[in-house]
Structures are given as structure tokens and as C-alpha cells.
A and B are shown apart, each in its own frame.
Chain A
Amino acid sequence: MMEQSKMAFGLAARDATGVLSPFSFTLRDRRDDDITLKILYCGICHTDLSTIKNEWGNARYPVVPGHEIVGVVTEVGSSVQKFKVGDNVGVGYYISSCLSCDNCKHDWENYCPKMVQTFNHSHPDGTMTYGGFSDKFVVNEHFAVRIPTNLPLDKVAPLMCAGITVYTPLKEHGLSEPGKHVGVVGLGGLGHLAVKFAKAFGAKVTVISTSISKKKEAIEKLGADSFIVSKDPEQMKASMGTMDGILDTASANHSLMPLIGLLKTRGKLIALGGMTKPVEIVMFHLMLGAKMVAGSLIGGVKGIQEMLYFAEEHNITADVEVVGMDDVNVAMERLEKGDVRYRFVIDVANTITISN
């Protein structure tokens, strides 16, 4: 089989300004169990923004972000079983794990201590990982998933991170049983998908937001059953002790105690947003109602595949604004202000131009 070019082209941030500019790099060596993709679309996740601006202090410049990747297979290694050339596939937040620890063996590659992130991380051999704001991608077949044929590819890309991030805790914490009352804090990339998935599971959904301006859309477009403004003490009080679970997608620093008050006995608050400051927990309030706060980080490969089939069955896709590679910096600025309904997706294949 003819090996294609080892060069790839994308956008990288070079420093903490986070400004992205053209960047050429070498794809890693292809192995027998690898597939090569031509990237069609890549979603822009808030994690990409936080990373390129070094908000978490872990940026290794130059950073090519992007981990909500949808592409078409252009090449398969000799031992590849899952895919063939021409298949539409997705890749999410990680591209490698040890495959031998308890986490990996139980389909929780996302919790493997040796999990390698799709971008801003290093392969076991020390080379950097570069993400989906680029034209080509090489990945071990284990870590790619099939895109069900009926779903529009641009709207599927955000499911590869945002989708699985909200789907996993709904399933893991018993919130996927019909009739549950699920709260969703924050109505952004994660939040809007949380509403859609929770509704598809048969939950009653209450959106909890800082801004009344999102109410109409939450109810009429996304299908939420109710909407409360977190700064309104009357509304918060009326909802106390009513929710089986809450998905907290808000990444701005905020207190969890008022949200814990909304939970029923044995209710669960799932923290998904990457807050930079610790929160204070009054243990009494957890103890008196047997409540819990859990974290959750994306999901395993099997879970991602299952989530996509569920999304196909229930017609769940992200609400996206498609942008070209040239507009990515503007998109990042708008993302920082929360000015997007609800995910930017880069039309990589049609807008990437290779510069010499």
C-alpha cells in the first residue's frame, strides 16, 4: 500500500496569547493497527481555549488543539479490523491508553493513568500529540469510533467530547432512567447537549442559568421542561430538594452549595466544568441528605460508540456554527465571551489551505 505524505498542516498556538497561526508538522509513524484520516470537521471545545491560553499551566507550545474530530479514513494498516477506507470516523479527547490496567479492561480508557490526550501531550516515545485543527490524523483503530451514517458530520463532531462528557454521567449515575428530574447548569457546548440527552432518556429537565436571556431557547428549541435563574433566590428556593441529579457544566468559578440544596435525598451533583479555584463544601449538607458530588471526565471508547448510536436513534446532534480555518481566532474570542449557540465547528476540509 502506498504510504501517503507524512506531513500535516494545521493551526497552532505559540504562546499564551492563544493566537493560532499556520503550522506544519510531521505525522507519527504509521503502525499496522493505525488508520489515517482526512479530517473533515473539528469542534472547538472550551478546553482547547483554556489550553492554548495556558489557563491550567500545562501548555506545551506549539499547541495544535482540537479533539472533536470527524474525518474519513484514507488508509488502514495491515492488521486493522474495525474500519476500511472511506468510513466516516470520529476521534475524541484521547488517542492512546495502556489497554491493560483495570480501567482499560473495563472500558474506561478515559481513566487510564497512561491515557494520552489527542493534543498537547506526548506519545510514549516522547513526541508531541497534535490535535484536530489540522488536515490529517493518524490514530490507533481502537481509539476511533464509527459515525452512524445518518448523522450530519459537522453536527456530530461536538459529540466526540461534549456529547460523551454529558452522556457518561447520565448513564453512570442512574439519571438515564425515565422520570428522573435532571438539572443542567450552564447552557453552552456541554449544557445544550446535556438537555438533549437527558430529554431523550425520558428525564424532566430544568436548566439552571445565570441569564434569563437563554430561557426561550432552552424551552422552545432544546426542549427543557423548566428554567430557573441561579441568581434568583425565590426560584432556587422553590426548586430545593427536587432534583435527582444535576450536571454542572459551568466552568466559571461558582459555589456548589446552592446547587447541592436543589438535590433530593441521595441526589448527585456531577461537576464537569474545569473550575480553576477550589469550591467550599459544607459537609453537613452532604451528610444530612446522603448527597454526593462526583466528577466525570469524558468516557470510554465503548461508551462513545454507544453514545453515537443512541444519538442516531434519537436524532441528537449539536447546535453548531460552522467556521473556516481563517476565522478560528475570532471564534476563540467569541467563545471566551460565551457568544456561540452552542459550538463552533471548523470546516477543516473545505477551508484549510496549505501555505508553503
Chain B
Amino acid sequence: MASVNGNGVKASPETEHPRKAFGWAARDTSGILSPFSFSRRNNRDDDVTIKILYCGICHSDLHCIKNEWTNAIYPIVPGHEIVGVVTEVGSNVHKFKVGDKVGVGCLVNSCRSCDSCKQGFENYCPRFILTYNAIDTDGTMTYGGYSDTIVVDEHFVVRIPDTMPLDKCAPLLCAGITVYSPLKYFGLNEAGKHVGVVGLGGLGHVAVKFAKAFGAKVTVVSSSPKKEKEAIENLGADAFIVSSNSKQMQAAMGTMDGIIDTVSAVHPLTPLLFLLKAQGKMIMVGAPEKPLELPAFSLIMGGKIIAGSCIGGMKDTQEMLDFAAKHNVTAEIELIGMDYVNKAMERLAKADVRYRFVIDIANTLTTA
């Protein structure tokens, strides 16, 4: 099957690069994934080649392959929570050597020269290149981690600390940094802060763990009462309130320094804003595809803030992993084989997972 690269030249995914690669791709808006042969570039001087061991399934993967964000360029090999082992390093590579355990997240490149890049915020570079479904600087498509290998500039590769279990670490490459970054940059990483976490899925459960590791008091705000036991006993949350329970919501009014809102469905903001103390901050990391309503008064009364945050820079991603290793923060996962991926996507659409699927790539991705 031919794909059109950025220069309008038809090139087959199998032949556009010199090295054979194999993965699973979605071909159309059904989002059904199936075996896909493609190719990877040669290892350049700054590159690292990675044999992929595990890849987490992020909800963004699902949104993308079903074209819910209307930007799909099929065929799409998703996956941006990649953990693997280095098999080759370029001559300019200094950070890694063959055999190192490494990770790749949502970005494989950025301009490296704008203010955001220079300050370590590659995630806010206007010209960043996503790990999959993006057009790389050479005009070819990027393919993600539901595959056997990936070749990446060392700048966009992070080291996995030796003590971390690789499968449980994979989701940190996206979910982990996505919640770590706002906790850090909005001052919620100071001991004694009261942090609310809205939604208890892939992002939410990791947010609870990081916030607790920072020394915060954590209240989970969820729409489902049945998650309470797990939130308190397994994840370590201090309190749990059901968003539709007006008594609980009222009792918690004006008590939180910050809220990490991980919910990607449309939901009312005002009741959550009421939970904030004056000058409190609500950081949106879930990406609802429809606009949310915001009454100006909800912000003006109390001088509150609503901010958006998107993954994190490379320096922060490494810092997050080192912090996670020190504080024993890993994701709660369900490890699956490659063959199960379509079923996993169906279950993910129904939020039927505690709390992240991770594909055991090395052991189950077999060439047809």
C-alpha cells in the first residue's frame, strides 16, 4: 500500500527507508489495527536505534486511529509510551550505549531553536514532531511504538532507571509526564498542598501517585462511586468524592490548592472550580473534543485560574522518571499480547481497564 509523503511523492511505507520494520497499523476510521510492514531510517550520527520491548496504549492512540481529531493520515502505527533496549548508537551519541534501557514518549523531534525548545519545553515548540501520525523533517510519516523497532534522535530518548519494572514504566512516558509537569509548574509539588484529581483512568491514577509522592493531600473526584475503595486503599488517595454528590462537593468547596482534571469527556467546570481555594489552579490535561462552558464569574470570584498543559519537555521527562524510581511510582497495568490490541481498544473506549493496557511487544509481536 502506497502512502503519500510530505513532498507529494508516492513512496511505499516498506521502501521509503532502508531498514525493515514491522508493526500494527490502523488503515481507516474503524480504527481496527492489523499487521503492517514498513521501514525505519538508518541510524544517523545523533540517533539511537531501539528494539521495542513494551508500549503503553494511551487514549490518544484510540482518538487518533478513529480520526476523532480529524487529522488521521492512514496507515497509522500508534504508540507513544515506548520502552526498549538500545541496539545501536550513532557516532555523536553520548547519553546512551548499546544495552541501555530507554524510553520514548510523544515527541521524536522539535525545532531545537525556538524559545520553548531552548528552555527545555520541546512540548510547546510550534514545530514539534509527534512520534506517530506526523510528518517528519524528511517528509515521511512517523510511525509509533506498536512496532518492533524505532530510530530516534538521542535528545528525545530518556533513560529508564535500573530499578524500574519496564512494563509498568511504559505509561509514564506519556501519562506520567502529562501529570508530573503541571504538578511541578503550578506549585502543587510542595508538601502539604491539597490536590484534587478528577477522573481515575490512565492519567488520573498516576496523578494520585505522583501527588502523594510530592507530599500532597490528594482528593479524587470521580463520577463512579465504585472506584473509591481502590483509590484509597490501592492508590493512596486521602479522600474520594463523587462529583454528582452535592453534599460531598459542597463540603469540599474552597479546600483545594489545585486540581488536575484528566477527564476527556465534556463535563461541567463550575462545580470543580468551586472546590478550589482563592487563587487556586485547575489544570486541564484531558482533551475533550468539544468546547467546555466556562462562566467568567467562576474565575473572577476567588481569582482562580484554568490552564492547559500538554505532556512535558525532555528534561522534565527524565526528571519525572528519576523521581518515579526514587518514590516507587509506576503505572497499574494490564499486560496484553499484540493480538489482543483491538479488543483492548474496545475495552479502553468503555474505560474498562485498571488503568493502562501495555503491549508486550518483544514477546508477542511476530512477523506474519
Interface set of A (CB-CB < 8 Å, partner B): 102-103, 108, 110-111, 113, 172, 241, 256, 265-266, 271-275, 277-297
Additional pairs, 13, CB under 8 Å, beyond known A265-B121, A292-B308: A111-B302, A172-B303, A265-B124, A278-B295, A278-B296, A279-B294, A279-B296, A280-B293, A288-B308, A291-B308, A295-B296, A295-B303, A296-B300
Q: Tell me whether A283 and B308 are in contact in the complex, defined as CB-CB below 8 angstroms, given that A111-B278, A265-B124, A297-B302 are known contacts.
A: yes
B168 to chain A, nearest CB (A): 26
Q: Residue-by-residue, is B271-282 near A (CB-CB < 8 Å gives 1, otherwise 0)?
A: 000000111000
Between A and B, 27 residue pairs with Cβ closer than 8 Å are: A102-B277, A108-B279, A111-B303, A265-B115, A265-B121, A271-B299, A271-B300, A275-B296, A278-B293, A278-B294, A279-B296, A280-B293, A280-B294, A281-B292, A283-B284, A284-B287, A287-B309, A290-B308, A290-B310, A291-B307, A292-B306, A294-B304, A294-B306, A295-B296, A295-B298, A295-B299, A297-B300
Report if B291 contacts A (CB, 8 A): yes
Q: Within the assembled complex, what's the spacing in Å between the Cα atoms of A48 and B77?
A: 59
In the complex, what distance in Å separates the CA atom of A246 from the CA atom of B310? 21
A108 near B296: Cβ-Cβ < 8 Å: no
The answer to whether A280 touches B292, judged by C-beta atoms less than 8 angstroms apart, is: yes
User: Taking the complex as formed, is B225 at the interface, i.e. its CB lies under 8 A from any CB of chain A?
Assistant: no
Pick from B124, B278, B286: contact of A290, CB below 8 A.
B124
With A and B bound together, what is the CA distance between A279 and B303 in angstroms? Answer: 17
Contacts of A285 in B (CB 8 A): 308
B293 near A295: Cβ-Cβ < 8 Å: no
**Smallest Cβ distance from B59 to chain A, in angstroms?**
14
Q: Is B285 an interface residue (CB 8 A)?
A: yes
Inter-chain contacts of B279 with A (CB < 8 A): 108, 111
Per-position 1/0 for B291-334, Cβ under 8 A of A: 11111111111111111111000000000000000000000000
From B277, B286, B310, contact of A288 by CB (8 A): B310
**CA–CA, A272 and B299, complex, Å:** 9
| Contact present for B305 and A294 (CB under 8 Å) | yes
List the interface of chain B (C-beta within 8 A of A): 115-116, 121, 124, 126, 254, 277-279, 284-288, 291-310
Chain A residue with minimal CB distance to B298?
A295
| Minimum C-beta distance from B120 to chain A (A) | 13
B254 near A295 with CB under 8 A, answer no
Known: A103-B278, A286-B307, A290-B310. A273 touches B296 (CB 8 A): yes
Cβ–Cβ < 8 Å partners of B299 in chain A: 271, 293-295
Specify the main secondary structure of chain B where it touches its partner.
Answer: mixed
Cross-chain contact of A266 among B124, B287, B301 (Cβ < 8 A): B124
Task: Answer whether A289 and B124 are a contact pair too, CB < 8 Å, given A111-B278, A113-B254, A280-B292.
Answer: yes
List the A residue with the shortest CB-CB distance to B286: A283
A286 in contact with B306 (CB, 8 Å): yes
* Bound-complex Cα distance A295 to B303 (A): 5
* Bound form: Cα–Cα A294–B308 in Å: 12
Q: Which residues of chain A come closer than 8 Å to B297, judged between CB atoms?
A: 274, 295
Kindly list chain A residues whose C-beta atoms are within 8 Å of the C-beta of B296.
Answer: 271, 273-275, 278-279, 295
Q: Are B307 and A290 in contact (CB under 8 A)?
A: yes
A110 CA to B301 CA, complexed, in Å: 9
Nearest CB in chain A to that of B270: its residue: A278
Q: Which residue in chain B gives the minimum CB-CB distance to A285? A: B308
B307: chain A residues at CB < 8 Å are 286, 290-293
Q: Which residue of A lies closest to B289 (CB)?
A: A284
Residues from chain A with a CB closer than 8 A to the CB of B254 are: 113
Would B287 and A287 count as touching, CB distance under 8 A? yes
Question: Contact: A295 with B309, CB < 8 Å?
Answer: no
In the complex, the 4 A-B pairs of residues with the closest C-beta atoms, listed nearest first: A286-B308, A295-B299, A287-B308, A111-B278
A51 to chain B, nearest CB (A): 14
B297 to nearest A CB, angstroms?
7
Give B310 Cβ to nearest chain A Cβ, in Å: 4
- Does the CB pair A295–B292 fall under 8 Å? no
User: Which residues of B have CB within 8 Å of A291?
Assistant: 307-308
The smallest C-beta distance from A262 to any residue of chain B, in angstroms, reads 15
Which B residues are CB-close (under 8 A) to A278?
A: 293-296
Q: Are A295 and B304 in contact (CB under 8 A)?
A: yes
Q: Closest B-chain residue to A273, C-beta based?
A: B296
User: Is the pair A295, B301 in contact by a Cβ cutoff of 8 Å?
Assistant: yes
Chain A residue numbers with a CB within 8 Å of B288 are 283
Tell me whether A287 and B300 are in contact in the complex, defined as CB-CB below 8 angstroms, given that A265-B124, A266-B124, A281-B294 are known contacts: no
Q: How far is the CA of A172 from the CA of B279 in the complex (A)?
A: 10
CA distance A183 to B124 in the complex (A): 22
Residue of B nearest to A168 (CB): B303
User: Are B300 and A279 within 8 A (Cβ)?
Assistant: no
Q: How many Å lie between the Cα of A165 and that of B304 in the bound state? A: 14
A287 to B306, CA, bound (A): 10
Tell me the complex Cα distance, A272–B300, Å. 7
Roughly how many angstroms separate A290 CA and B125 CA in the complex, as a whole number?
11
Kindly provide the distance from the CB of B284 to the nearest chain A CB, expressed in whole angstroms.
Answer: 5
| Residues B303 and A290 in contact, CB atoms below 8 Å apart | no
CB-nearest residue of chain B to A111: B278
Residue of A nearest to B269 (CB): A281
CA distance A132 to B254 in the complex (A): 31
- Which residue of B is nearest A103, CB measured? B278
Q: Which residue of A lies closest to B297 (CB)?
A: A274
